[in-house]
Amino acid sequence: MSDTPDSAVRMYIDTHRAAFLEDLAAWLRIPSVSAQPEHDGDVRASAEWLSAKLKETGFPVAEVWETPGAPAVFAEWPSDDPDAPTVLVYGHHDVQPAALEDGWHTDPFDPVIRDGRMYGRGAADDKGQVFFHTLGVRAHLAATGRSTPAVHLKLLIEGEEESGSPNFRALAEQHAARLAADAVIVSDTGMWDETTPTVCTGMRGLAECELQLYGPGQDIHSGSFGGAVPNPATAVARLVAALHDADGRVTVPGFYDGVAELTDTERALFAELPFDETTWLRTARSGAASGEAGYSTLERIWARPTAEVNGIGGGYQGAGSKTIIPSSALVKLSFRLVAGQHPDHIEQCVRTWAEAQIPPGIRHRITFSPATRPCLTPLDHPALQAVTRAMGRAFGKKILFTREGGSGPAADLQDVLGAPVLFLGISVPSDGWHAPDEKVELDLLLKGVETAAHLWGELAAALR
Amino acid sequence: MSDTPDSAVRMYIDTHRAAFLEDLAAWLRIPSVSAQPEHDGDVRASAEWLSAKLKETGFPVAEVWETPGAPAVFAEWPSDDPDAPTVLVYGHHDVQPAALEDGWHTDPFDPVIRDGRMYGRGAADDKGQVFFHTLGVRAHLAATGRSTPAVHLKLLIEGEEESGSPNFRALAEQHAARLAADAVIVSDTGMWDETTPTVCTGMRGLAECELQLYGPGQDIHSGSFGGAVPNPATAVARLVAALHDADGRVTVPGFYDGVAELTDTERALFAELPFDETTWLRTARSGAASGEAGYSTLERIWARPTAEVNGIGGGYQGAGSKTIIPSSALVKLSFRLVAGQHPDHIEQCVRTWAEAQIPPGIRHRITFSPATRPCLTPLDHPALQAVTRAMGRAFGKKILFTREGGSGPAADLQDVLGAPVLFLGISVPSDGWHAPDEKVELDLLLKGVETAAHLWGELAAALR
């Protein structure tokens, strides 16, 4: 066995792998669903569990930070090198709603290992990817013989990411001094696939709203009144249908204001990836690709803004039939945003557009959730090269570049801390984020540990 | 006190009014919801209760008739006059779904009398209007001194009307000989309002379907996949939006084939009614009237076919947000039909139209419920004049003519028995059919009793 740092890291990880997975499973058993008030206590328990685990890992500081909503966890492990750069790791400990009846094969909150994968809500999004930093920093110390990390290491693991991070920006502003960093590492994204390690360079933003339409003061008989009064379910459908034109472009006036169009270089980088639409459709479990005309599937997901219906409802949806005109209907819409778009502008555009669509006799209410801004990492930043090198050492392969279609509050950290945001994620598209049977590939999870173990040395050198 | 038949009828009703209302309340306590399988036993209990009550009323024959679905009740009371015509009364003993949380002020299945009204599911639709025939026939006998009715009286009270009467036509065909009649009286409609007694001359038909659309094999992350795969909630919305054109006409090709257009006479008859749109909108609890261009509100409801959304659903409808592309969506559509339209043709037209709307990558399933045909009573039929006279004696007013926007299986009886269909109903638009706080006005309910008491003599004279 070689005694290079890389093999020493691997040996350390092999030795501690079983305990690491047991600990992760224990964390996944806490159903920290931030969107459902009945799980408020679980989100808190998750924060307390993580804080205790980080202290056990060796972080001299590990605290639960209160917010007006769910608590976050902050931890800090200063380097004994006073000139070391400071790096802040971002992740989240809350998870999406999940229930066995949604189509899970096993209880989403009782994780199991099957075929080299751990199944459970949060396995990939995001507990697994937060947790690899615990074993990562221990392996870094063991392999380098250091007693403290090569960088001043900070972690901020929030508890409301799956609810749109409503209090995150305020939290970051409140604690800006303690969070100050030379770079932010976001561990809440993925890579291309099981065999193609990649570094993500940007995320889309997210604006979400619920639109309620109100028609008759109560459900009324569709025989007695049908054909003669406006139906809110019809109105909500017309509104959704009017969201896109025949080319799949969003029709909301002003929606595309400021959108950063793809450069030829960026399109070429995307084209380097081994994209196979058939495989991708299988992952999406979709029968066809469709979207904005003039863009490839990857461009649609990574670099184009969207409007999607997350939920629609109104009237009778149970067994049999009920001949009513429903009194109300709703639609939950989400808008993915790209660099150049600002959520406040999007909200104003959507409100103005929606109000103009509502027919006489229908009242409405639009509620926007707190938004997430888009972000892009400059391709020429030295920290991006450091992340790429750390990942290359762990995977032993050329690292390619992607973006992420999903959204996270990374842009807020970029704004508040004035630091560049880098992405380190090992999740793959088949992991089933937000879906039944969410899982993480154990091999990749351990490569994440390994990358994290190399990252602090690489960043210390790159940012010094 | 006068001893005319009319005052004798009134006196009899006054004497028996309290017991009559208590009995009706007992029947309303049986939650005979035919659309919900968990209430199958209650629908049966309702049939048995009614059968026993009809025997107690004096019907020599009262039977529960089985169907492949919910049971019906048949009763018969032959006249001692062998030359008397035969009249069949139609109604239904099943009710719409109802739950306190839908907005009822009191338990829908624990009726209460408040301000001269009885509140409870089925009070007007249709138990109240079936039940007035029990006291009606007793008052007829008491006032005329007869021991049997002036007509051979039959009742057929079905148990699946609120589920589209799937087995009703077959039941009528199976028992055609025992159901044979010279006229059918349908007591499942209403009159103009509390102060304007009217006779209905026609009902719309009804075709209903559920359209399920299937997209991704499971809910998928709207960040990872949004903008690049078809969304079934968007597809269902586009389909609903495409159902009508800008003039409010149904766009389904062939939908208007054969529609009997209104004559000038019919439009003039409608115009005689004291229609006030503001009042009507208050009853509908709607903020505006809207519908097919070129027709008045009454024409839209009574004489024009419609397409309405009774329910729409897909994706996440709970609290907070869930950033998914839903795996499926559904819409429940109902089509009201007018004379000249056939449900089989409508089903074929809707299927062909819907299939042409579905985008690539979305699978679908359309399920049609058994349909109800439209019907119209000839304005010059002597039986219609008999009904009008009976109602005039009870109400002491000129009787006007309406139609009914709702639907019932009357057309099947017309087809199978070859008998004209007349309508006798005392419900009013404010009764809240299919809605929370359904009620019946006690004064009108007792006028219904009184009309029923006069009707058998009038019909015996008219049809002899």
Give me the residue from B290, B359, B405 closest to A223, CB to CB: B405
Question: Residue B274 CB: number of other CB atoms within 10 A?
Answer: 10
H or E element that contains B23: helix B5-28
Nearest-angstrom CA–CA distance, A371 and A407: 10
Q: What is the pLDDT of residues A308-325, one digit of tens each?
A: 999 999 999 998 889 999
Q: What is the pLDDT of residues B301-337, one digit of tens each?
A: 999 999 999 999 999 999 888 999 999 999 999 999 9
Put simply, the answer to whether B310 touches A316 (Cβ < 8 Å) is: yes
- Inter-residue contact B220 to A284 (CB < 8 Å): yes
- Inter-residue contact B117 to B28 (CB < 8 Å): no
What's the pLDDT at B2?
Answer: 40
Per CB-CB distance under 8 Å, the chain B contacts of A219 are 102, 434-436
* Range scoring the smallest mean pLDDT among A441-445, B12-16, B83-87, B402-406: B402-406
Q: What is the mean pLDDT of chain B?
A: 94
Residue type for position A460: A
Put simply, the answer to whether A228 touches B406 (Cβ < 8 Å) is: no
Nearest-angstrom CA–CA distance, B339 and B414: 13
Q: What is the pLDDT of residues B122-168, one digit of tens each?
A: 999 999 999 999 999 999 999 999 999 999 999 999 999 999 888 99
DSSP string across A379-409: TT-HHHHHHHHHHHHHH-S--EEEEESS--T
Tokens representing residue B355 in the block: 């299939």
Q: What is the pLDDT of residues A61-110, one digit of tens each?
A: 999 999 999 999 999 999 999 999 999 999 999 999 999 999 999 999 99
* Range scoring the smallest mean pLDDT among A42-56, A379-393, B6-20: A379-393
Q: What is the pLDDT of residues B2-61, one digit of tens each?
A: 446 799 999 999 999 999 999 999 999 999 999 999 999 999 999 999 999 999 999 999
Nearest-angstrom CA–CA distance, A42 and B374: 57
Q: What is the mean pLDDT of residues A3-30?
A: 93
H or E element that contains A447: helix A442-463
Find the distance separating the first CA and the last CA of chain B, reported in whole Å. 32
How many Cβ pairs within 8 Å bridge chains A and B? 375
Put simply, the answer to whether B435 touches A243 (Cβ < 8 Å) is: no
Q: What percent of chain A has pLDDT over 90?
A: 84
A2 pLDDT exceeds 50?
Answer: no
- Inter-residue contact B49 to B27 (CB < 8 Å): yes
**Cis preceding-peptide flag for A126 (omega within 30 of 0):** yes
Nearest by Cα to B119 from B98, B90, B94: B98
Per CB-CB distance under 8 Å, the chain A contacts of B321 are 35, 163-164, 208, 210, 310, 332, 334, 369
Put simply, the answer to whether B310 touches A304 (Cβ < 8 Å) is: no
**413-432 in chain B: CB under 8 A from chain A:** 429, 432
Question: Residue B388 CB: number of other CB atoms within 10 A?
Answer: 18
Q: What percent of chain B has pLDDT over 90?
A: 84
CA distances from B249 to A325, A353, B8, B295, B353 (A): 17, 25, 52, 11, 15
What's the pLDDT at A164?
Answer: 80
H or E element that contains A20: helix A5-28
ipTM value greater than 0.90: no
Nearest by Cα to A72 from A41, A95, A51: A51
Per CB-CB distance under 8 Å, the chain A contacts of B223 are 204, 206, 336, 404-407, 433
Tokens representing residue A268 in the block: 């070429």
User: CA dihedral defined by B44, B47, B52, B53, rounded to 10 degrees?
Assistant: 140
Between B263 and B234, the higher pLDDT residue: B234
Nearest by Cα to B440 from B117, B196, B125, B135: B117
Per CB-CB distance under 8 Å, the chain B contacts of A231 are 308-309
Q: List alpha helices for A285-342, DSSP H.
A: 297-303
Nearest-angstrom CA–CA distance, B387 and B375: 17
Q: What is the mean pLDDT of residues A106-118?
A: 97
B379 pLDDT exceeds 80?
Answer: no
What's the pLDDT at B380?
Answer: 79
Q: What is the pLDDT of residues A145-201, one digit of tens each?
A: 999 999 999 999 999 999 988 899 999 999 999 999 999 999 998 999 999 999 998
Length of chain B: 464
Q: Which residues, at least 6 apart from B120, have a Cβ–Cβ distance to it below 8 Å?
A: B25, B28, B29, B108, B109, B110, B111, B112, B438, B439
Tokens representing residue B64 in the block: 């529960």
- Inter-residue contact B268 to B379 (CB < 8 Å): no
Place of tokens 């992740």: A91
Q: What is the pLDDT of residues A421-451, one digit of tens each?
A: 999 999 998 899 889 999 999 999 999 999 9
Nearest-angstrom CA–CA distance, B34 and B329: 25
B348 pLDDT exceeds 70?
Answer: yes
What's the pLDDT at B442?
Answer: 98
Put simply, the answer to whether B433 touches A281 (Cβ < 8 Å) is: no
- Inter-residue contact B356 to B254 (CB < 8 Å): no
H or E element that contains A205: strand A205-214
All domains of chain B in start order, with CATH: 5-203+374-463 (3.40.630.10), 205-259+305-368 (3.30.70.360)
Per CB-CB distance under 8 Å, the chain B contacts of A359 are 288, 290
Put simply, the answer to whether A229 touches B319 (Cβ < 8 Å) is: no
DSSP lists the bridge partners of residue B156 as B74, B90
Question: Residue B82 CB: number of other CB atoms within 10 A?
Answer: 7
Q: What percent of chain A has pLDDT over 70?
A: 99
Place of tokens 């993500």: A200
**58-77 in chain A: CB under 8 A from chain B:** none
Give me the residue from A222, A224, A311 closest to B326, CB to CB: A311
* Range scoring the smallest mean pLDDT among A12-26, A127-141, B80-94, B398-412: B398-412
A303 pLDDT exceeds 60?
Answer: yes
* Range scoring the smallest mean pLDDT among A12-16, B169-173, B414-418: B414-418
**Cis preceding-peptide flag for B40 (omega within 30 of 0):** no
A3 pLDDT exceeds 70?
Answer: no
Q: Flag whether residue B366 sits within 8 Å of chain A, measured between CB atoms.
A: no
Put simply, the answer to whether B228 touches A291 (Cβ < 8 Å) is: yes
What's the pLDDT at B422?
Answer: 94
Tokens representing residue B137 in the block: 């026939």
Put simply, the answer to whether B406 touches A221 (Cβ < 8 Å) is: yes
What's the pLDDT at B147?
Answer: 97
What's the pLDDT at A1?
Answer: 36
Give the closest-approach CA distance of A308 to chain B in angstroms: 7
Put simply, the answer to whether A435 touches B221 (Cβ < 8 Å) is: yes
Q: What radius of gyration, in Å, describes the C-alpha atoms of chain B?
A: 23
What's the pLDDT at A439?
Answer: 98
Give me the residue from B37, B290, B292 closest to A361, CB to CB: B290
Tokens representing residue B385 in the block: 């004049």
Strand order in the sheet with B439-441: B112-114, B117-119, B439-441
Nearest by Cα to B428 from B282, B266, B265, B262: B282
Q: Checking DSSP bridges between strand A205-214 and strand A306-315, what pairing results, if any?
A: unpaired
